[in-house]
Amino acid sequence: MFYTPAEGHGLPHNPLNAIVTPRPIGWISTRSADGSENLAPYSFFNLVAYVPPQVMFASTGRKPDREEGKDTLSNIRETGVFCVNITGEAHLDAVSASSAAFGREVDEFEATGVAREDCVTIPCSRVVGTPATLECRMTEIVTLRGQNNFLVLGEVTGIHLNDACLIEGRFSPEVFQPLARMGYRDYAVVRDVFEKLRPGES
Ligand SMILES: Cc1cc2nc3c(=O)[nH]c(=O)nc-3n(C[C@H](O)[C@H](O)[C@H](O)COP(=O)(O)O)c2cc1C
């Protein structure tokens, strides 16, 4: 089949986010200007540069108690910082629980029973015990086309690696089995990791 987004797919469910899969999940913690803690998953997320290291995520849609966007976006507008917690299979239930449409005043760490501790380089909380955490300073928020679509870019200012994931000096996702988002209500867990050299590499 072929379809254009303008004309529609005609399928019972939108296939779009099943096409670009698997997507890594950034479990993003933020703090509002008045100190409310926030935690929510974003799968429109990725690493976009090495030097300096930069990440991006996209907020799409809005919360009923927000004029535009979601709590994560609003908090970043207020404080200029955010923290990306990297997830493994063990985090599935907590990740899903933290995606509920909580009011802006709800602390998702408390509501979902996730332990937090302070970041080192930014005034923000991070999830305790994740495989890795990226402390980030927002560099740009780009307003995308359409309703309530925003791209947030940030520079990584501090990186936490869980020592249990360091095997012979390599950060090894095999240890925690990364959680990824598929289409519809589906997730995937990365279990099959193999090496393949690029041309000219030895
Ligand atoms: C695995 C997963 C990935 C998600 N990815 C996104 C995303 O990339 N962008 C987005 O706007 N919402 C995404 N959501 C929905 C948000 O997590 C949800 O709207 C959440 O309530 C936002 O919380 P906040 O208002 O505290 O930022 C995702 C939900 C799940 C379960």
Q: Are 55 and 45 in contact (CB under 8 A)?
A: yes
Ligand 1: centre distance to CA 196 (Å): 33
pLDDT over 90 at 63, yes or no: no
User: Closest ligand 1 atom to the C-alpha of 75?
Assistant: 27
Extents of the domains making up the chain:
23-189
Give the position of tokens 């501790």: 117
**Which atom of ligand 1 approaches the CA of 41 most closely?**
17
pLDDT tens-digit series, residues 130-144 = 999 999 999 999 999
Give the pLDDT score at 202: 87
| Best residue among 99, 106, 107 to mutate for probing ligand 1, ranked by most atoms within 8 Å of CB | 99
For the cut 90, the answer to whether the pLDDT of residue 65 exceeds it is no
Q: Lowest-pLDDT range, 7-21, 65-79, 83-97?
A: 65-79
**pLDDT score of 80 more than 90:** yes
Please state which CATH number belongs to domain 23-189.
2.30.110.10
Q: Specify the pLDDT at position 111.
A: 97
Q: Is 181 in the pocket of ligand 1 (CB under 6 A)?
A: yes
Does 64 score more than 90 pLDDT?
no
| Strand, helix or coil for residue 184 | coil
* Closest ligand 1 atom to Cα of 72: 27
154 to 92, 132, 161: CA distances (angstroms): 25, 17, 19
pLDDT digits (tens, 9 = 90+) for 16-58: 999 999 999 999 999 999 999 999 999 999 999 999 999 999 9
In angstroms, what is the span from residue 46 Cα to ligand 1's centroid? Answer: 14
Task: Calculate how far, in angstroms, residue 48's C-alpha sits from the geometric centre of ligand 1.
Answer: 20
3-class SS at 84?
strand
Please tell me if the CB atom of residue 30 comes closer than 6 angstroms to any atom of ligand 1.
Answer: no
Specify the pLDDT at position 93: 98
From the centroid of its chain, how far is CA 95? Answer: 10
- Say how many Å lie between the CA of residue 51 and the centre of ligand 1: 28
Mean pLDDT to the nearest integer, 136-162: 98
- Quick one: average pLDDT of 87-96? 97
Kindly tell me if the per-residue pLDDT of 145 is higher than 90. Answer: yes
Q: Is residue 82 in contact with ligand 1, taking CB distance under 6 Å? A: no
Average pLDDT over the chain reads 97
The pLDDT tens digits for 159-194 are: 999 999 999 999 999 999 999 999 999 999 999 999
